[in-house]
Structure 1
Amino acid sequence: MSGHGASAAETELPPLTAGPHRKRIGLISIVACFGGFLFGYDTGVSSGAEGPMSEELGLTLLQTGIVISSLVFAAAVGAFIGGRLSDAIGRRKTILVLSIMFFTGVLFVVFAPGFAMVVTGRTILGLAVGGASTVVPVYLAELAPFEIRGSITGRNEMAIVAGQFAAFTVNAILNATLGHVDGLWRVMFGICAIPAVCLFVGMLRMPESPRWLVDKGRMDEALAVLKTVRSNERALAEYGQVERVAEEEKASASGRPNLGQIMSNRWLRRIVLVGIGVAVTQQLTGINTIMYYGPRVLEQSGFTESGALRAATLFGLAAVVGGIFALRNMDRLDRRKTFFIGLFLTTTCHVLVGLSGILIPADSPAKPYVVMVLVTLFVLSMQSFLNIAVWVWLAEIFPLSIRGTAIGISVFFGWTVNGILALFVPTLLGALGTNTFFLFAVIGVIMLGFLWHEVPETRGRSLEALEEDLTSGEIYRSLPRRLPFAGFLWDRK
Structure 2
Amino acid sequence: MGYGEEDVEIIHQEIEQPLIEAKGTTSHGGNKGRGHPWMVYLSTFVVVCGSYEFGACAGYSSPTQSAITAELGLSTAQFSLFGSILTFGAMIGAITSGPIADFIGRKWAMRVYSAFCVGGWFSIYFAKGSLALDIGRLAGGYGMGAFSYVVPVYIAEIAPVNLRGALTTLNQVMICTGVSVAFIIGIVLSWRTLALTGLIPCAVLLLGLFFIPESPRWLAKIGSQKEFEAALQKLRGKDADITHEAAEIQDYIEELEKLPKANMFDLFQKRYLRSVTIGVGLMVCQQFGGINGICFYVSNIFETAGFSPSIGTIIYALLQVVITLIGATLIDRVGRKPMLLVSAAGLVVGCLLTAIAFYLKAHELSEKAAAILAVTGILVYISAFSAGMGAVPWVVMSEIFPINVKGVAGSLATLVNWFGAWSISYTFNFLMEWSSWGTFILYAAINAAAIVFIVMVVPETKGRTLEQIQADINA
TM-score in terms of structure 2 length? 0.91
> Does the 8 Å CA contact 1:38/1:163 hold for their aligned counterparts?
yes
In the other structure, the counterpart of 1:341 is 342
Aligned to 2:52: 37
Aligned residues: 452
Describe the SS at the equivalent of 1:212.
helix
Q: Is the 8 A contact 1:9 1:241 kept in 2?
A: no
Report the alpha carbon displacement of residue 438 of structure 1 after superposing the two structures with TM.
Answer: 0.8
Partner of 1:15: 31
Partner residue of 2:309? Answer: 308
1:211 aligns with 2:217: yes
Deviation at residue 233 of structure 1 after TM alignment: 4.5
- Paired with 1:7 and 1:320, the residues of 2 have a C-alpha distance of 40
The residue type equivalent to 1:327 in the other structure is: A
In structure 1, distance between residues paired with 2:294 and 2:32 = 40
Q: Show the counterpart of 1:285.
A: 289
Q: In the alignment, what sits opposite 1:261?
A: 266
Which amino acid in structure 1 is aligned with residue 56 of structure 2?
Y
Instruction: Work out the CA distance in 2 between the residues paired with 1:439 and 1:146.
Output: 38
1:431 matched to 2:447 = no
2:126 is matched by which residue type in structure 1?
Answer: F
Aligned to 2:8: none
Could you tell me which residue of structure 2 aligns to residue 68 of structure 1?
83
- Superposed displacement of residue 359, structure 1: 3.5
Partner of 1:268, secondary structure, is helix
The C-alpha deviation readout for 1:47-75, integer Å capped at 9, x for no partner, is: 11122112222222222111111001211
Cα drift, residue 31 of structure 1: 0.6
CA distance in 2, matches of 1:385, 1:75: 22
Shift of residue 28 of structure 1? 0.7
State the one-letter code of the partner of 1:208. E
CA-CA distance at 1:18 after TM superposition: 6.3
Correspondence 1:78-477 to 2 at 5 A: 78-174=93-189, 184-231=190-237, 232-251=239-258, 253-254=259-260, 256-263=261-268, 265-303=269-307, 307-359=308-360, 361=364, 364-472=367-475
- Matched-pair contact (CA < 8 Å) for 2:33–2:240: no
SS state at 1:330 partner: helix
Gaps (5+ residues) in structure 2?
1-18
132-141 vs 395-404, which moves further: 395-404
SS at match of 2:188: helix
Alpha-carbon distance in structure 1 between the residues aligned to 2:199 and 2:87:
19
Is the CA contact (8 Å cut-off) linking 1:7 and 1:465 kept in structure 2?
no
CA contact (8 A) 1:44 1:291 kept: no
Measured after TM superposition, the shift of residue 135 of structure 1 is 0.2
CA distance in 2: counterparts of 1:341 and 1:16, whole angstroms: 37
Question: What's the CA shift string for 1:309-349, capped at 9, x where partnerless?
Answer: 22111111110111111011010122111111111111111
Structure-1 separation of matches of 2:32 and 2:461: 19
For residues 31 and 250 of structure 1, what CA distance do their matches in structure 2 show?
Answer: 30
Contact 1:301/1:362 (<8 A) preserved:
no
Q: How much identity, in percent, do the aligned residues show?
A: 28
Where 2:128 maps in the other structure, the secondary structure is coil
Q: Are the equivalent residues in 1 in contact too, given 2:156–2:164 (CA < 8 A)?
A: yes
Question: How far is 1:271 from its partner?
Answer: 1.8
Query: Residues 7 and 461 of structure 1 are in contact (CA less than 8 Å); yes or no, is this contact kept in structure 2?
Result: no
Letter in 2 for 1:383: S
CA pair 459-16 structure 1, distance change in 2 beyond 3 A: farther
Q: CA offsets, 1:279-317, max 9 Å, x none?
A: 1110112222222110011112123xxx21221111111
The AA in structure 2 aligned to 1:241 is E
Q: How far 1:81 moved relative to its partner?
A: 0.6
Q: Separation in 2 of the partners of 1:159 and 1:397? A: 23
Q: Is contact 2:353-2:376 (8 Å) kept?
A: no
Q: Secondary structure at the match of 2:332?
A: coil
Instruction: Tell me the distance in 2 between the aligned counterparts of 1:444 and 1:57.
Output: 41
Distance 1:449 1:366, change over 3 A: closer
1:490: which partner in 2?
none
Q: Partner of 1:172: helix, strand, or coil?
A: coil
RMSD: 1.9
Q: 8 Å contact 1:10–1:465 — kept in the other structure?
A: no
One-letter amino acid matched to 2:398: A
Larger CA deviation: 272-281 vs 430-439: 430-439
Work out the CA distance in 1 between the residues paired with 2:303 and 2:384: 22
How many Å apart are 1:470 and its aligned residue?
Answer: 2.6
Question: 1:185, 1:394 → 2: CA distance?
Answer: 35
The separation in 2 between residues aligned to 1:389 and 1:336, in whole angstroms, is 9
Cα distance, 1:249 vs. partner?
Answer: 1.3
1:453 match: secondary structure: helix
SS at match of 2:461: coil
- Aligned-pair CA distance for 1:9: 4.5
Normalising by the residue count of structure 1, what TM-score does the alignment of the two structures yield?
A: 0.88
Change (3 A) 1:353 1:6: farther
Q: In 1, Cα distance between the equivalents of 2:25 and 2:67? A: 58
Q: CA deviation at 1:432?
A: 1.9
Question: How much has 1:452 moved relative to structure 2?
Answer: 1.8
Q: Summarize deviations over 1:195-217 as a string: whole Å, max 9, x none.
A: 11111111122211000000111
Structure 1: tracts of 5 or more residues without a match: 175-183, 473-493
| Per-residue deviation, 1:363 | 6.1
